[in-house]
């Protein structure tokens, strides 16, 4: 078994509140086991360029409560090329990095699995506000981001109520409606629009007309960005034209990615970071750390990536070939479970509004 003397930690892809808490946990858990830690700056870009500094106990002081990532993040197309990958491997040799904890989303995990295949053991932590990693119930940053959405939407509702308006609010999530559907419930939205469920604009318009007729003054419609670039603005225009209710449009965008992580994200990031280090030191790699039913568990990265592709309907020829019928069945069940959860949340939102 490989002896770990020094590991690297990086944050990659879109930043997420709680990434700092995860870096702190990785650093302190490793140092406690006598393993040195190198902070790799700017995600895979820093791994290619050698933008790397040692992290001591005190270097991760006072960051658990901060949003963003003090290691900075980047999207690094060069890392997707064999040349970029080889540069990264050379950097690992130069800095004597024996293994890496990579915090990010599915793109980051694809990079991590490529590195593992080339002899650098990696473990991924799910750090993204989108909650679009099917193998985990929650990703680091998701809960904080939703709380930020709620705060913003509550403010919009105040002014909608004063002026008897509707507000269509677009929230991030890439292709996933996870943020939109939950914040829709919590904000008491009239409706939500998410890519996972066919959207019926006429039903929403009828609901708003009825609401106005019975004296309701404010209306909130939450739209996931996955509905498409102009969807929200067009919907706002359509609602105003067909209901007569003045309708504003707001895109919350990156506001939702910033801010201090909340308790849930800090705790989950800390537990996942510690768990990842323990697995790496045990000689395990090519794993993504997940939360399933409140428990922190490890899932094979390739299994997690294929599960994601199955859930998103993007399976490629041969993707399932390495898996046993029992594993494929498990993937199908997990996809069904997540679809059922999203459908049920969507129903709850619609049933409880108006």
Compute the distance between CA of residue 181 and CA of residue 192 in angstroms, rounded to an integer. Answer: 6
Q: Which does 99 bind (CB under 5 to 8 A by kind): ligand F6P, ligand ADP, none?
A: none
Does 251 bind ligand ADP (CB under 6 A)? Our answer is: no
Q: Across-strand partners of 291? A: 296
Using CB under 6 A, which of the segments 61-69, 106-114, 145-153, 313-321 binds ligand ADP?
A: 106-114
Question: Which residue lies nearer to ligand F6P by CB, 24 or 174?
Answer: 174
Question: Which residue lies nearer to ligand F6P by CB, 152 or 160?
Answer: 152
Binds ligand F6P by CB under 6 A, chosen from 52, 129, 192, 227: 129
Task: Kindly state the tokens that stand for 28.
Answer: 């302190």
**C-alpha distances in angstroms, 303 versus 121, 155, 277, 328?**
16, 41, 20, 10
Does 183 bind ligand F6P (CB under 6 A)? Our answer is: no
Binds ligand F6P by CB under 6 A, chosen from 25, 166, 172, 342: 172
In contact, 18 and 268? CB cutoff 8 Å: yes
Is 130 one of the annotated active-site residues of the chain?
A: yes
Tell me the DSSP string of 227-263.
G-TTHHHHHHHHHHHHH---EEEEE-GGGGG-S---H
Question: Which residue lies nearer to ligand ADP by CB, 38 or 85?
Answer: 85
Which of positions 16-75 make contact with ligand ADP (CB under 6 A)?
A: 44, 75
Does 196 bind ligand F6P (CB under 6 A)? Our answer is: no
Does 174 bind ligand F6P (CB under 6 A)? Our answer is: yes
Site residue total, ligand F6P (CB under 6 A)? 10
Does 130 bind ligand F6P (CB under 6 A)? Our answer is: yes
Q: 82-94 and 106-117 are packed helices; what angle lies between their axes, rounded to 10 degrees? A: 70
Compute the distance between CA of residue 225 and CA of residue 34 in angstroms, rounded to an integer. Answer: 44
- Return the ∠ at Cα 177 (arms to 173 and 178), rounded to 5°: 85
Binds ligand F6P by CB under 6 A, chosen from 105, 121, 126, 273: 105
Residue 62's H or E segment, with its range, is none
**C-alpha distances in angstroms, 183 versus 17, 149, 307?**
17, 7, 25
Does 182 bind ligand F6P (CB under 6 A)? Our answer is: no
Tell me the DSSP string of 179-193.
HHHHHHHHTT-SEEE
In contact, 108 and 102? CB cutoff 8 Å: yes
Q: Nearest to ligand F6P by Cβ — which residue?
A: 14
Does 39 bind ligand F6P (CB under 6 A)? Our answer is: no
Number of C-beta neighbours around residue 186 at 10 A: 15
Query: Can you say whether residue 249 is alpha, beta or left, with left for phi > 0 and alpha for psi between -120 and 50 degrees?
Result: beta
Which of positions 122-141 make contact with ligand ADP (CB under 6 A)?
A: 128
Catalytic option among 15, 130, 132, 143: 130
Interface map 251-270 toward ligand F6P (x if CB under 6 A): ------x-------------
Task: Kindly state the tokens that stand for 220.
Answer: 């909130």
Question: Which residue lies nearer to ligand F6P by CB, 179 or 301?
Answer: 179
For the bound state, the minimum distance from the C-beta of residue 173 to ligand F6P, rounded and expressed in Å, comes to 5
Contact positions toward ligand ADP, by CB under 6 A? 12-14, 44, 75-76, 79-80, 104-108, 110-111, 114, 128
Contact positions toward ligand F6P, by CB under 6 A? 14, 105, 128-130, 172-174, 225, 257
Q: Which residues are catalytic?
A: 130
């Amino acid at each position: 078994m490989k002896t770990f003397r020094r590991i690297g930690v990086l944050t990659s892809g879109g930043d997420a509140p709680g990434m700092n808490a995860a870096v702190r946990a990785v650093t302190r858990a490793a140092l406690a086991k006598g393993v040195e830690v190198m902070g790799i700056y700017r995600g895979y870009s820093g791994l290619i360029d050698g933008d790397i500094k040692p992290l001591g106990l005190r270097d991760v002081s006072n960051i658990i409560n901060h949003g963003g990532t003090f290691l900075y993040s980047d999207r690094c197309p060069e890392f997707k090329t064999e040349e970029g990958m080889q540069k990264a491997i050379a950097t690992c040799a130069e800095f004597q990095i024996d293994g890496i904890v990579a915090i990010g989303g599915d793109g980051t995990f694809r990079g991590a699995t490529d590195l593992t295949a080339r002899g650098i053991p990696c473990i991924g932590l799910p750090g993204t506000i989108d909650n679009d990693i099917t193998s985990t119930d929650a990703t680091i940053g998701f809960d904080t981001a939703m709380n930020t959405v709620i705060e913003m939407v509550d403010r919009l509702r105040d002014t909608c109520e004063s002026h008897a308006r509707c507000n269509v609010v677009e929230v991030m999530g890439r292709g996933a409606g996870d943020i939109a559907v939950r914040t829709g419930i919590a904000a008491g939205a009239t409706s939500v629009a998410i890519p996972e469920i066919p959207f019926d604009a006429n039903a929403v318009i009828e609901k708003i007309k009825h609401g106005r007729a019975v004296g309701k003054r404010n209306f909130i419609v939450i739209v996931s960005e996955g509905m498409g670039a102009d969807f929200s603005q067009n919907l706002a225009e359509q609602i105003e034209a067909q209901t007569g209710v003045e309708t504003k449009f707001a895109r919350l965008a990156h506001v939702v990615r910033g801010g201090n992580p909340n308790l849930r994200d800090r705790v989950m990031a800390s537990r996942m970071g510690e768990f990842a280090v323990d697995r790496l030191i045990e000689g395990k790699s090519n794993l993504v750390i997940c939360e399933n039913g409140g428990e922190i568990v490890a899932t094979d990265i390739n299994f997690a990536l294929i599960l994601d592709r199955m859930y998103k309907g993007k399976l490629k020829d041969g993707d399932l070939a390495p898996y046993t019928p029992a594993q494929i069945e498990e993937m199908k069940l997990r996809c069904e479970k997540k679809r059922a959860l999203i459908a049920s949340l969507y129903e709850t939102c619609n049933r409880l509004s108006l």
